[in-house]
Amino acid sequence: MVEVLRYDVLIIGSGLAGLRAAFQAALTSKDRLRIAVISKLHAMRSHSVSAEGGISGVLYPKENNDSIELHAYDTVKGSDFLADQDAVEILVKLAPEEIKFFEHLGTPWSRLPDGRIAQRPFGGMSIPRTAFAADKTGFFMMSTLYDNLQRFDNVEFFHENFVTSIILENGLFKGVTAIDMATGEYRVFLGKAGIIATGGAGRVYSFVTVAHSNTGDGIAIAYRAGIPIKDMEFVQFHPTGMVPSGVLITEAARGEGGYLVNRQGERFLKRYAPQRMELAPRDIISRAIMTEIKEGRGFAHEESGLEYVHLDLRHLGEEKINERLPMIRELSRKLIGVDPVSEPIPVRPAVHYTMGGIHTDTYGQVMLDEQSTRIPNLWAAGEVASVSIHGANRLGSNALAECAVWGRLTGEAAARYAMNAPDSMLQISTAVDTAVKNEEKRIFDRLLHTESNPENPYDIRSELQATMDSLVGVFRDQRGLEEAWRMLKRLKERFSKARVENRVRIYNNNLRDFLEIDFMLDVAETIVVGALNRTESRGAHYRLDYPKRDDVNWLKHTLVFYRRGEPPYISYAPVRITKWAAEERKY
C-alpha cells in the first residue's frame, strides 16, 4: 500500500524561499492549516546556506543618496532589459521590509559604528545597497528562519524526501509523489495548495559554485507536468569560482575592493567596463575573464589544466579581510593553501545561477500557457521560478531578496487559498490514483528491473556536464549548440537503457542519483533549445555568431513546453515594460 499524507499547504524545497514561504503561511493561517515542508535534504543542508555576499535593499535612501527607483533601474539594466519591470518594482519595494523582518527575527547583520545595518557595493548597483552578515549571509538568514519555524506546531518537516513528480488534474494542483530516502518507501502528499521552491539547476555543468543537490528537480517535474519553462538559455556564470574546485569566491570580495589581474599584472577590466571595473555586472566580467584567457593572458593550473586569472585582496589588509571576508580566507587556506592576505586567489567563471525557471506571473503563480491560464493553487518561488526579475542577467544580492520577497508572497497566497478550500480536494480521484501508480511503476519497475548490459548513468552524467561546459558556456555559436543538441539526444537514448544497480531500499543513493540525472537531461534540453533558437546576444547568453542584442526580434521571453518522445515546443511571451525602454548597456 502507498502511504498517503494529507496537508493543507505543501512546500517543495527547504531553502530560503521555501522556509520564508512556510513562515508566512504559518503566520497567515494562525494555526488553522497543516503545512508540510518536503526536502530531499535536511533543511539546513539546502544550498541557500552557501550564499555569501548579501541581500539587496534600499535601507537608508537619504543617507546613501539612494532610491527605490534607482534600485529598480539598476536591476532592469543589469537584466539587459529582459526583466519584467512590474515584478522588479515589487522586489525593490518589499526587499527593505524583508531585511528588517530578518533583523527582528534575529539575523546578525554586520553593522556600522552608529548601529545601522552595513551595506557594501555589488556589481551593477549604483549605490552600496547590499546588507550582509560578514560573508555568511545565507547561513545566518537560513538559521534564523529555521530556528523560528520551530515555534509553529502546524509546520512539519519531511527531511530527505525526494519528490519525483507533480500531480495535476484538470489544471489544478493535487499533490506530489516522493521517496522517503531513510526507508525507501514511496509515498504521496496531497495538498490544497502547493509551492515549488527547489532551487536551481547548475549541476548540469561540471565547473560550478553550487551544491551537488542543485540538479533542477523542481524545473524538471514541472516541465514533465506540462508547465512551461521560461528563459533557460540564460545561465549565470559567476566570475570568481576558485580554481580548481569551483567553490564560490563571493562578489563581496570585489565589493570590498578586490582587483582582478591577468598574467601581466594588469587590471584588465579597464578594457571592458572602464567606469565600474570590478563592480560591473557578472556577465560582462565573466566574458572579460574568458577573453583574457583565450588571448593568452591567463595562468594555467598544473593538475587540472584549468586556466584562470588572479583575484587580488592583498591591498585590503589582514584586518579588513578578517572582518568582512573571514570565510573566504578560511576557504582559500583550507582548500588550496592560499592565504589571500599574502597571495592572490586563482579564479575563473563558474556556473552559479539559473536565471530562467518555472513560468509564473508577477506574484509567483504558476502559468500553464503564455499569458492567460494560471494554476489556481500552485506557486513557485526563488531560483526555481522565473518571475522574471533577473531577465538575461542577475545582479548579485538580488537573489536573496527575491527568495525572501516571493517566499513571503507565495506563502501568504497559498495559505489564503487553502483556508478557503474544501477538504474534498484531498480525496484521491481515479486520475490521481492512475498518476500515482504510473510513477511508482516508472521508478521501481523500470529503474530497478531493466535489461542486461545496461548503460552506466554516471558516465552519462559526466558526458552531459562535459558537453554543457564545452558547447553551452560563456561563449556559444550555432555549430556548437547544434552539436550539443545532437549529443543530448544521444545521451537521452542511452539513458533509456541505464538502470539502478543498488537494490536496497534504505538510503539508496544510487536511485537518487539516477533520478537526478534523468531530471538533468530534461533541464539541459530546455537550456540548449532556448540557446539555439535565440539568435542574438543578451546578458549571459552570448552568441559569437550573433554578437549584438536584437530588441526588434528578441525582446521577449522563451517558453519551452515538454512533449513526451518528441522535441519540445517553443513559444514566446512579451516582456512587461512599465518605465524603462531598452537602451545600450554601458558600465
CATH code, domain carrying 446: 1.20.58.100
d(CA 434, CA 351): 39
Q: Establish if 318 belongs to a structural domain.
A: yes
What CATH number does residue 287 fall under?
3.90.700.10
C-alpha cell at 574: 512579451
* The predicted structure's pLDDT at residue 503: 81
Q: Establish if 268 belongs to a structural domain.
A: yes
Q: Establish if 305 belongs to a structural domain.
A: yes
Please return the burial class of 361, using the count of CB atoms within 10 Å of its CB with bins 0-12, 13-18 and 19+: middle
Same domain, 434 and 547: yes
Buried b (16+ CB within 10 A) or exposed e, 172-198: ebbbbbbbbbeeeebbbbbbbbbbbbb
Residue 438: domain span? 430-551
What is the widest separation between alpha-carbon atoms in the chain?
70
d(CA 349, CA 397): 18
Catalytic residues: 238, 254
Same domain, 536 and 440: yes
Q: Which residue has the cell 532592469?
A: 76
Q: Which residues of the chain have pLDDT under 50?
A: none
What residues are paired with 385 via a beta bridge?
358
Amino acid at 359: H
C-alpha cell at 447: 529503474
Same domain, 531 and 437: yes
Q: Are 532 and 209 in contact (CB under 8 A)?
A: no
Q: Establish if 435 belongs to a structural domain.
A: yes
Q: Establish if 56 belongs to a structural domain.
A: no
CA distances to 56, 197, 539 from 94, rounded to whole Å, are: 11, 19, 25
Of the residues 349, 368, 401, the one at which a domain ends: 349
Tally of structural domains, the chain: 2
Concatenated DSSP letters of 491-556? HHHHHTTB------STT-HHHHHHHHHHHHHHHHHHHHHHHHH--S-BTTB-BTTB-S--HHHHSE
Q: Establish if 565 belongs to a structural domain.
A: no
pLDDT digits (tens, 9 = 90+) for 254-308: 989 999 999 999 999 999 999 999 999 999 999 999 999 999 999 998 888 899 9
**Residue 447 DSSP one-character state:** I
Q: Which residue has the cell 481515479?
A: 430
Q: Establish if 131 belongs to a structural domain.
A: no
H-type alpha helices, 155-260: 217-224, 252-255
pLDDT digits (tens, 9 = 90+) for 171-187: 999 999 999 999 999 99
Q: Establish if 203 belongs to a structural domain.
A: no
Same domain, 344 and 444: no
pTM of the model: 0.95
